[in-house]
């Protein structure tokens, strides 16, 4: 099937390559010429495991190409909208500028019988509004809302083998035809057993933000328990293991530490609260405000802990920060807890030296007034305290004996509960973590 993917960021680039992998003929469109130039050369414009190989393979097959010219959407059976919906500056609400621009530029090129399929995370009600615009421009085309649940770092795998598919379909006579096209899009051996939820636009839109709100709530719940563990010197990791054995709770997303960041969870819960307010249902989601506050408090606590182990002041203290990305296997620093902590420590007079295996370039641009190092060894040289803030595999595997001769003081703060406290303490280090006994 010939299809268009509009927006070639973390979502769209992966979606386009995966659709080509499934055998479709795909054109990816983006307004950013730099991004398109990279993709045209089969280079991923961001770090995502497996994506470079997939791009190379699908582009060599001739099934995937990229352009800045939206007119090339003409003739596609399906047009996916994959642009970002960031948080508005100074407000909680989502900024729909890119969605509206993408749809408006697409409309003149949509033909009869074609589908426009929204994948971006949007406030409930957006799909109906876009469907009306589509109807006005091309009465014989239809809109489907098909939210995406991929995780960065696992984006290729999540797209090719999703947990579930959700189709928000138009009502009336268009429904069956729209569903048949969607089934053809995802008709692969992999998705044959994928659970499918067929519903209306507003439910499909809500599913996405409800899922992300639940995940954020789960993380903040365990981080609230971590705060209590700190008060009574209990151990959050044992607590999470113990409650996680109950299948109704589950151990996943109960990793306490610095909390959630990234381009999705933080802005999605805020946009959800803002939308509920607009709908006159603000009370319904006030708990998400608390979810957000618990999350932000963890960052402050980490800075306080660093100051505490440095005898009450960070001024002139050399602080090695391991990690800038909002999570491992990503170069994404949007709302990164690690970078936020590094910035706060700098503000309090600490001499920060930060390293990260993938996000250094992005971090340098966002936070130019700290020092950067290419390697862990360089970063920790002469450090008064080492902070592990993003749990990259290579940081989890660090050996206390190897780092000891490099640092000025053997102190490590584990912001992600990624290290074995006994091992570090036995090697003579002061080990502190969020939610674990001293
Ligand atoms: C999230 C959702 O997990 C995806 O299902 C969704 O599709 C995506 O947002 C989106 O809306 O596009 P992502 O932002 O890639 O995916 O990252 P997550 O793996 O959810 O992690 C989010 C943050 O939570 C990270 O900062 C991570 O370090 C933190 N986290 C995660 C914890 O602090 N504890 C945990 O137990 C799990």
Mean pLDDT of all residues belonging to the chain: 97
pLDDT confidence of residue 193: 83
Is 428 a member of any domain?
yes
pLDDT of residue 191: 62
Shared domain check, 165 and 240: no
ipTM: 0.98
d(CA 44, CA 64): 13
Q: Identify whether residues 389 and 308 lie together within a single domain.
A: yes
Q: What is the CATH number of the domain that holds 262?
A: 3.40.50.720
What would the mean pLDDT of 63-83 be, rounded to a whole number?
98
240-297: pLDDT as tens digits: 999 999 999 999 999 999 999 999 999 999 999 999 999 999 899 999 999 999 999 9
Identify the pLDDT of residue 40. Answer: 97
Is residue 204 one of the residues assigned to a domain? no
Do 163 and 22 reside in the same domain of the chain? yes
**Is 149 in the same domain as 261?**
no
Structurally, the chain folds into a number of domains equal to 2
Distance, CA of 208 to CA of 387 (rounded, Å):
33
Nearest residue CA, atom 22 of ligand 1? Answer: 260
Establish if 162 belongs to a structural domain. yes
Among residues 194, 215, 240, the one where a domain terminates is 194
Q: Are residues 276 and 327 in the same domain?
A: yes
Residue 296 within a domain: yes
Atom of ligand 1 nearest to the CA of 153: 15
- Tell if the pTM clears 0.90, that is, is over it: yes
Q: Report if residue 218 sits inside a domain.
A: no
For residue 243, is it within any domain?
Answer: yes
Structure-token pair, residue 247: 């299948």
Q: Are 276 and 282 contacting, i.e. CB atoms less than 8 angstroms apart?
A: yes
Residue 217 lies in a domain: no
Q: Are residues 190 and 237 in the same domain?
A: no
C-alpha 265 to ligand 1 mean position (Å): 7
By residue range, what is the domain housing residue 89?
A: 2-194
* Minimal-distance CA residue to ligand 1 atom 3: 151
Q: Same structural domain for residues 188 and 336? A: no
Token pair for 36: 């398109």
pLDDT tens, position by position, 209-247: 999 999 999 999 999 999 999 999 999 999 999 999 999
Q: Is residue 224 part of a domain?
A: no
Same domain, 278 and 419: yes
Q: Are residues 107 and 162 in the same domain?
A: yes
Share of the chain above pLDDT 70, in %: 99
pLDDT in tens, 387-419: 999 999 999 999 999 999 999 999 999 999 999
Q: Are residues 88 and 135 in the same domain?
A: yes
Q: Is the dihedral of CA 37, 43, 261, 339 positive or negative?
A: negative
Residue 172 structure tokens: 């009336």
What is the Å distance from ligand 1's center to 157 Cα? Answer: 15
Give catalytic residues, as residue numbers. 264
Residues 174 and 318 in one domain: no
């Amino acid at each position: 099937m010939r299809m268009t993917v509009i927006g070639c960021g973390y979502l769209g680039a992966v979606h386009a390559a995966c659709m080509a992998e499934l055998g479709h003929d795909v054109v990816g469109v983006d307004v950013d010429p730099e991004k398109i130039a990279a993709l045209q050369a089969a280079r991923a414009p961001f770090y995502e495991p497996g994506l470079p190989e997939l791009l190379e393979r699908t582009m060599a097959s001739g099934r995937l190409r990229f352009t800045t010219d939206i007119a090339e959407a003409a003739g596609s059976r399906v047009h996916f909208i994959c642009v970002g919906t960031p948080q508005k500056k100074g407000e909680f609400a989502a900024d729909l500028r890119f969605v509206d621009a993408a749809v408006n530029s697409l409309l003149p090129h949509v033909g009869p019988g074609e589908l426009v399929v929204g994948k971006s995370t949007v406030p409930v009600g957006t799909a109906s509004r876009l469907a009306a615009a589509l109807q006005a421009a091309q009465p014989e085309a239809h809109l489907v809302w098909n939210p995406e649940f991929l995780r960065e770092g696992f984006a290729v795998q999540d797209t090719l083998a999703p947990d579930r598919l959700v189709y928000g379909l138009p009502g009336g006579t268009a429904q069956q035809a729209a569903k048949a096209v969607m089934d053809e899009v995802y008709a692969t051996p992999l998705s044959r057993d994928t659970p499918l939820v067929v519903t209306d636009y507003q439910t499909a839109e809500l599913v996405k933000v409800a899922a992300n709100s639940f995940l954020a709530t789960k993380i903040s719940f365990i981080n609230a328990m971590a705060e209590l563990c700190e008060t009574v010197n209990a151990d959050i990791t044992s607590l999470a293991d113990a409650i996680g054995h109950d299948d109704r709770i589950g151990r996943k997303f109960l990793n306490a530490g610095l909390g959630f960041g990234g381009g999705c969870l933080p802005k999605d819960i805020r946009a959800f609260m803002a939308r509920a307010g607009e709908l006159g249902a603000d009370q319904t989601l006030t708990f998400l405000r608390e979810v957000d506050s618990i999350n932000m408090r963890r960052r402050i606590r980490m800075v306080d802990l660093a100051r505490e182990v440095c005898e009450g002041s960070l001024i002139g203290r050399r602080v090695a920060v391991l990690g800038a990305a909002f999570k491992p296997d990503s170069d994404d620093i949007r709302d990164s807890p690690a970078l936020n902590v590094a910035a706060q420590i700098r503000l309090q007079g600490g001499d920060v030296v930060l390293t990260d295996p993938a996000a250094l370039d992005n971090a340098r641009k966002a936070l130019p007034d700290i020092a950067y190092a290419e390697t862990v060894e360089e970063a920790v040289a002469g450090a008064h305290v080492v902070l592990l803030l993003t749990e990259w595999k290579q940081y989890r595997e660090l050996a206390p004996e190897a780092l000891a001769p490099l640092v000025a003081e053997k102190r490590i703060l584990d912001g992600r509960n990624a290290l074995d406290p006994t091992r570090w303490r036995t090697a003579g280090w002061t080990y502190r973590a969020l939610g674990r006994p001293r």
